[in-house]
Structure 1
């Protein structure tokens, strides 16, 4: 008891085996509680020693002085780290209280918020304005707009027999009936086009800042409003691409693309990058859709299998009389044809009384069997 009267440091308590036993098991054999009550001034020191003991998480009762020292060192390191963190926090608070630092921080925060606001609101508005303004400059009463808010492609049949496979989060504006000497549509997003051949009426796709001109071919355009590039990939035929501000008749910046060639238009600096070997461009090859991978060349193939290929390529559902058509086989080429023309050819090959009905992505084949 006299010995502990000389304890003035926390280490003195931690090195005392009876103190550790009291703290751990509450077995007060040595009368620590009574001693603490008799010396209220030491109570604070006892409490601090208790907290240190808990912080060290000492598992054993019998500790050597070396073990106590090691535990103390470990605890000291934790405390010093917290003290350093506290001092750093105080320095930051002091720094924040200085006028120049608050001004610099305000400028930085304002700059970050400005960039965020521009990218979120203004940039989106500017990107979206191309599609909106271009459509607004046409005869709005004569245009229909298809917006794909679903999670799968939607098929659109145009008045000239052309078909457009519109991807999710995309929209297409087009006239109910094409009039005059040109066929024009307006795209925001991604779509695969199969254009009905008509040399007297060239087909134009306006997408962001470029215009793609075709006569009869199949190709894909990716022109999302918030992307920095526009991509055009040709599957069959030939297309010509120009910037929207340039006239095709002038020939300026006109790029000609053949099958399996692509073009990337950099919107920021209005430059074209022609890609003659698409297999070397990972970005393009990774974005190839199902419709671009299937072959539509059929030699003595069951009609049911042909319909299955079309379903997978166009993300449509085809209902047909399986029993009547189970023995039907076809040899035909449908590669360079829009979807409606593909269906016409198939129905004509099956039998004169065979027809089809399209209702969005649902197709129904009406037939009594093969010829």
Structure 2
């Protein structure tokens, strides 16, 4: 059991006889199902290994062993040429040197699954840095992971009251409860953060090769693994950005401070920062500004229905509320610097009459009997 806690690669699982037995016969004598539930951050690796083992069931053909070996060799050479990543090449060589794996890969190739093979390994390589960050900075077993595989943003409410708007094809790892004197999360992809204020417990976002430090503010980070740049854009408050290397005290380069409507572009190839003090002067960043980053949350005698529409537009959520009871309700309030849960609390408190809200994913329900 302890041995599998060290598994970090797909081939580690494929080489484990008890894992193969579990996947092929569903005979879980080694307790793999419970182990997977206790280690959610390994679930993706388990799933990828499962897909490989399922591919073994493809019927064999009548080709000779020499033909299989030649075709397999040519396919791997093409894959290695496209990848151009030393770590990826090392993983491919390890797999190639495993005898039983050659036969499985040959079946996949002649079953028109070679493209699937390449896609899965390219994806696995692109997440290496994300996983390395988690391993380097925290106990990965204590983190939850949210992956947005939908076509619309998803809301994540953190234990400290902060909220994250996670964009499609993105994932966020975060603790169920923030412990100690720091709050740390790990991003791969794009997300808009609204951080609850706590000067004694700064908030850190690790994204690719940079780390962003805040106390209480709102900002967006775009850090897809396959993009050449990482971008940070500040809406409210102040953030401090540094490279992971500098954060680990291996360099004396000063951190970069960003204020509202300022941005930063980190070029991953050259490991250089470019601070952008006027986002309208940078066409790429200016065009990427989303609704939540440009809508105003300052309301002066505005109907509650209009406030709800603004929130729906900004966060891609749906709000169900008693329209007749709140038809004549108007509010004057500023919600610019609060996470979404805090915005909803302030609105409900302003409406009065024991108004409250519930939130299930991107669906919000307002309970109220009308204004005070």
The structure number with the bigger radius of gyration is: 1
Match of 1:152 in 2: 152
Match of 1:60 in 2: none
Match of 2:180 in 1: 180
1:140 deviation in Å? 2.1
Match of 2:194 in 1: 194
Alignment of 1:136-285 (within 5 A): 136-137=135-136, 138-247=138-247, 252-285=253-286
SS of the residue 1:240 aligns to: strand
Change (3 A) 1:171 1:113: closer
Pair 1:318-2:319 in alignment: yes
Contact 2:353 2:370 in 1 (8 A): no
Match of 1:357 in 2: 358
1:118 deviation in Å? 3.0
1:115 deviation in Å? 4.0
SS of the residue 2:206 aligns to: strand
Match of 1:337 in 2: 338
Consecutive unaligned residues of structure 2, counting only runs of 5 or more, are: 1-74, 86-117
Match of 1:117 in 2: 83
Contact 1:351 1:369 in 2 (8 A): yes
Taking only aligned residues, the RMSD between alpha carbons, in angstroms, comes to 2.0
Deviations 1:135-191 (A, max 9, x none): 234222211110000000001000000000000000000000001000000000000
Contact 1:242 1:254 in 2 (8 A): yes
Alignment of 1:14-29 (within 5 A): none
1:269 deviation in Å? 1.4
Alignment coverage as a number of residue pairs: 263
Question: Is 323-332 or 131-140 further displaced after alignment?
Answer: 131-140
Contact 1:204 1:211 in 2 (8 A): yes
In structure 1, C-alpha distance between the alignment counterparts of 2:329 and 2:248, rounded to whole Å = 47
Change (3 A) 1:262 1:248: farther
Consecutive unaligned residues of structure 1, counting only runs of 5 or more, are: 1-108
Match of 1:22 in 2: none
1:134 deviation in Å? 1.6
Change (3 A) 1:325 1:276: same
Change (3 A) 1:140 1:176: same
Contact 2:186 2:206 in 1 (8 A): yes
Contact 1:162 1:338 in 2 (8 A): yes
TM-score normalized by the length of structure 2: 0.67
Change (3 A) 1:258 1:312: same
Contact 1:248 1:254 in 2 (8 A): no
SS of the residue 1:136 aligns to: helix
In structure 2, C-alpha distance between the alignment counterparts of 1:230 and 1:223, rounded to whole Å = 5
SS of the residue 1:245 aligns to: helix
1:251 deviation in Å? 6.2
1:116 deviation in Å? 1.8
